[in-house]
Amino acid sequence: MAVFKCNNCGNTIDVVTPPETCPSCKQVCEFVDVSCYIPECGGPGSGNINPQVFQESYKSDKK
| List of residues contacting Zn ion (CB under 5 A) | 6, 8-9, 11, 22, 24-25
Closest separation between CB of residue 55 and Zn ion, Å?
A: 18
Query: Which residues neighbour 47 within 8 Å (Cβ) at sequence distance 6 or greater?
Result: 1, 3, 14, 35
Q: Which is nearer to Zn ion, 9 or 38 (CB)?
A: 9
3-class secondary-structure state, position 12: strand
Closest separation between CB of residue 1 and Zn ion, Å?
A: 18
Q: Which is nearer to Zn ion, 11 or 46 (CB)?
A: 11
